[in-house]
Structure 1
């Protein structure tokens, strides 16, 4: 086959068995023919006849029917391994550069799918491997919490279809209980493989405010039932802990609140302010309203919160106050109402989405591939002491009463996060106290190490798994195709610029204005004209030039519309010349 591609022709196989092979040229006008057979040793093959020695056809140009999907996949396998997200157009260019052939667009996509399946496994087989994966995971990582469930097919009795799977390694949930604060962020993201699905993830923050995965699950749809199942498993991870201030932060996704009310009613709630701001910007546009919104969300004291809400009412009226009233209790979105025992002032779920974004292209891979990859300002302040341990901090025009004995600052930031704010640090400098000694153990190196003291034991390769005889055979879930081509780019938020090819603003070389070039300029002032015009405003100078231009055009039009006087002598002379 490689020889045919190299020489630029294709063949029709007339006969092919264990002893003989006969083929002719693919072109009907060509009489080229080859015949070969196996020799007596049973191993060696010999070409017995080639006639004629050269093809009588002109050969093929760029499309060769002998270039099959399997052939192309084997030739480009390492390129796809290095970049699994390589586009089909680039694969076609590689084929042409190396072998001088192109393949049809549909064949290139089939080629890529074949290679991806060979590299990362098939989508159907990955679901069949789930029971063995759960079993080997629990054997290599004792005390891990891993469950899966299946449903019976409606069309084929006694055939099990994948429903959902939940995984939390021992190192995850034990490390969370040992060194993380009781704030859990949850979120769901779509998987983009052949059978889709939703990845539910629970993430915490460690002592260094870095992402710490707690658990993850794959479900078919995002609804109350699946969220209830996910929260029930989460609750079982932490129910034996002595803490009772567990807080869940998320956006207002489908079924989360209802599921928590059913299976974990004692958990406190926070809503992601970034997701709330999407709906806010749809009704209250403008940068001022957006700044005031975040000022209200990030207020760490009742005073700053009240001032922010007063500014919002002045700018947006009663409608903005009614909108905030519909959000519910401010303890779910404003920092000054957060429970100080949680020691975490996060009011967005960005850290959960950061964890989801680590999947990258693996969201398009088989489920087993995705599951395995988941497991892989201080400013100048003045301190005035009223009595030992009690201070008044002056920062600009603002005054903040502060108590070192009770660890309370009127700005509210110290109580929420239990990290000394800039006012507390200034008072400690005055009292000659090391700020590191008053920070809670949640932020200590010892606690940080405890979070990672447990280890995830590596799982053996699938080829080395034991042959489990009592495991069920799991089939993929029922395929639910959406309308149109699957979307690969993320949806842009309200007010977010659309992604474009141009990353810089165009500046006109003629008039110096932004937003257009000299070719599409509408007649603005040149730089020389601007300098000659002096200190007049740009708009005034532009209007003057426009009026002068309009007057010149009107004078020219009036001149062309007047009748031209003809000299009689000139007319008679030209007439006599024409007669001659």
Structure 2
């Protein structure tokens, strides 16, 4: 009946409805009427009366096209594209049926389809122990830590935290990346909220290299301490000597760092895994430098043409450019501008001096940016795993964590730090223009 109403473009309403009979009439009080009741000989509900003549006009809004009907009708579309845009769904309804559907209805339809195809939130949390067990089966030396909370009402076992660090990523970072780690946390926009903590490095091409990540109940000193303790074990960081960590002033992270890594440098910043694709970066190239580093080196080489230098002996130079002066020491691989020491790539002042001694600037680039180190970072692969139909089932019932509502009115925009606020004000933006 719904399909007929939607295809014909007319609304109807129920006049009578019970287990054995149903009667529907047109919402606009025109003669259209349909009556069906139980037929014992057919063992089914059979149409007994149908007046298929409408005297009212076609409606662009159809109440029968609710989110449940849309979800079932476009199930195959979502099976092929789980992220089918809501705007495309609205246009398809208008093109195919000639009716207008609201954006909220389409969002609810997409959420319903995802539950139909992927299962509910309860189903996903119930599968977590089986998922972790399968990960451990195919990644024997990796670290997967599932922390459950048993001290809950009704003795329910609830999810609390999950930490993941693949052995291939940890070894790749230690063998092919600098001792530099960025720590960050972000909110999870799911029904149960929570936060995602992550640790990333920089590979030889100056791109992010994932090391470890964790889902926790919130960002505080206890959760960061738990995350960093596991990270220290996986990477073998003893005391933090020679290591540099950068973060964005996360809650509780500073205290956790001071307690666990007192000798490490800690700095604050102001502002689908691609492992296989990154591994093939040098497949069609014989260059010994990573592409991004080659680009920076060539850019600095062009700038070095404007430098004027004086040789002071012992591979030390005084370099002048645009009225400014710098001291370069090629043996120590230092320049007073500090660009070379901070980035490991010769600055324009240093390149001018390297050309003066008739050498190649590529020989003075840090080894962490070269082909061998990059390939060492990505030489290991993350083993594939079975889908959930092959996982071992767990006898216990696990439920998702309790949702803790924060006091006060929910904030619609994120907090902006002082540096970003200064930049936005300088550009003429107000508090209402703060990005979400």
Settle same-fold status: TM greater than 0.5.
yes
Question: TM-score normalised to the size of structure 2?
Answer: 0.77
- What is residue 35 of structure 2 aligned with on the other side? 33
Verify: 1:217 aligned to 2:142, yes or no. no
Mapping 1:345-384, distance limit 5 Å: 377=300, 378-379=303-304, 380-384=306-310
Q: Paired residue for 2:288?
A: none
Q: Distance in 1 between matches of 2:37 and 2:98?
A: 27
- Flag the 1:262–1:60 CA change in 2: closer, same or farther, 3 A: same
Q: Write the deviation string for residues 284-313 of structure 1: whole angstroms up to 9, x where unpaired.
A: xxxxxxxxxxxxxxxxxxxxxxxxxxxxxx
Question: Aligned pair in 2 of structure 1 residues 52, 419: CA closer, same or farther (>3 Å)?
Answer: closer
Distance 2:257 2:352 in 1: 42
Conserved? CA contact 2:240–2:263, under 8 Å? no
Bigger radius of gyration among the two: 1
CA distance in 2 between counterparts of 1:100 and 1:486 reads 39
Aligned match of 1:468 = 393
Q: 1:418 to 1:137 in 2, by over 3 A?
A: same
Unaligned runs of 5+ residues in structure 1 are: 276-376, 502-580
TM-score by length of 1: 0.59
Q: Does 1:403 align with 2:335?
A: no
Deviation for aligned residue 1:9:
4.7
Question: Partner of 2:113 in structure 1?
Answer: 115
Q: Compute the displacement of 1:177 (Å).
A: 0.3
Aligned to 2:160: 163
Greater alpha carbon shift after TM alignment, 96-105 vs 220-229: 96-105
Q: Deviations over 1:115-164 (max 9, x none)?
A: 2323443222222221111111122223111111011253222x111111
Counterpart CA distance in 1 for 2:103 and 2:369 is 55
Given that 1:74 and 1:115 are in contact with CA atoms closer than 8 Å, whether structure 2 keeps it comes out as: yes
Greater CA drift, 186-195 or 71-80: 71-80
Aligned match for 1:480, one of 379, 399, 404:
404
| SS of residue in 2 equivalent to 1:165 | strand
Higher-strand-fraction structure: 2
**Which residue of 2 is the match for residue 142 of structure 1?**
140
1:234 aligns with 2:231: yes
What's the C-alpha RMSD, in Å, of the aligned pairs? 3.4
- Indicate how the Cα distance of structure 1 residues 59 and 475 shifts in structure 2: closer, same or farther if over 3 A, else same: farther
Corresponding position of 1:5? 6
Matched residue count: 386
SS at match of 2:153: coil
CA shift digits 1:391-430 (9 cap, x unpaired): 2223232333322222232322223333222222111111
Question: Equivalent residues in 2 for 1:76-225 (5 A)?
Answer: 76-77=74-75, 82=81, 84=83, 86-87=85-86, 91=89, 94-101=92-99, 107-157=105-155, 159-225=156-222
The SS at the match of 1:32 is strand
Q: Residue 154 of structure 2: SS of its match in structure 1?
A: coil
- Listed as ranges, the gaps of 5+ residues in structure 2 are 272-299
Question: 1:229-257, CA deviations, whole angstroms, 9 ceiling, x for partnerless residues?
Answer: 01111111222689831111112221111
8 Å Cα contact 2:240-2:264 kept in structure 1? no
